[in-house]
Amino acid sequence: MDAASLPLVTISTPMYNTGAEVLETIDSVRRSTYPNIEHIIIDDASTDDSVARVREHLSQTGHPAKLVVHEQNQGIAKTRQHGLDLAQGKYMVGVADDLMRPDRIEQDVAHLEALGDAVVGVFSIAQTFVHGTGEVLGRKGAWEGEVLEHGLVPREALAARLLESNFIAAMTCTLRRATLLEVGYDTRFFVEDYPMWVRLLKAGYAFAYRPEVSMDYRITEKSVRKRYASRVALDVVRSKALFLGSGLVPDPLVRQKTWHYFWGQITHLTPPHRKEALASLRALGAPTGYGLWAAVRYFAGRLGVWTGMTKRNDAETVAMTVRKR
């Protein structure tokens, strides 16, 4: 395989106190069958010996990664944006402390080269494992809906699935750098991937799906979703709300799903984050009393007593609720 004739792929690895895990990530990149890779590792002001560990490993292995060290912690989204700004590749891959399968880049590039620029990227499946034991837990990121030629996923169907949950395993995505630069990461968010998927879909771009395992996804107590559950929940509310007015999914459904998620996370949200989430929900423009109605629907559903309204579509239910007042 002639490296000079192949598109350059940039792998961006953010790191914060995960040096030991990133050493394994580096080794998985070194095993890649794709020869034209640029690897950028960005340390977001780690407080342990992560930087020293990585520097030593790079020296010992000769792996030509670029190590960038932040003097102050900037958070996930800004660190991702920094990696994007530094990148030179045609395609971008974000891999934190997870393990890349050897043929992943080769397969993804071949997939994307066969598609037009309107397809921003391809996602696949991650196999989850427990850090320390290696126990395999399951899989994340499988798409079970309609797939068109070359694995193209219909935009409206993907939007509807993403409104339910951020099911895409971000580390499996290979994306066109030019499109990412055009759209950019929204650094107001703490969690960077969910709002990016929504904004790419709203900008008119599509995704393709490759039904194979491309990554091994590490489950650890250091997980951002575990350590910052309240902030992550806030960003999920804000990400779902981005679908409003997109034309990809009905606005009443956006309101219903966003409120439903909020009530499901109410005990995880700190008072300041709860206040911010409510501001985002009010901006959805729902009828007066909608939030209370959504709460009744959520908790009644949890108790298994919700019946007739679940059989109606959301637009009809909202209209019925308004007429009753």
Question: What's the pLDDT score for residue 320?
Answer: 36
Q: Which residue has the higher pLDDT, 129 or 191?
A: 129
Mean pLDDT of 114-132: 94
Question: What's the pLDDT score for residue 127?
Answer: 97
- Cα(210)–Cα(107) distance, integer angstroms: 9
CATH superfamily to which 3-220 belongs = Spore Coat Polysaccharide Biosynthesis Protein SpsA; Chain A (3.90.550.10)
- Cα(222)–Cα(211) distance, integer angstroms: 28
pLDDT digits (tens, 9 = 90+) for 186-228: 988 988 899 999 999 999 999 999 999 999 999 887 677 677 8
- Domain range list for the chain: 3-220, 228-324
Does the pLDDT of residue 64 top 90, yes or no? yes
What is the reported pTM? 0.88
Question: What's the pLDDT score for residue 305?
Answer: 58
Question: What's the pLDDT score for residue 213?
Answer: 97
Question: What's the pLDDT score for residue 84?
Answer: 94
Question: What's the pLDDT score for residue 76?
Answer: 87
Q: Which residues contact 293 (CB under 8 A, 6 or more apart)?
A: 321
Does the pLDDT of residue 114 top 90, yes or no? yes
Beta pairing partners, 40: 12, 66
Mean pLDDT of 65-81: 93
Q: Which residues contact 154 (CB under 8 A, 6 or more apart)?
A: 145, 146, 148
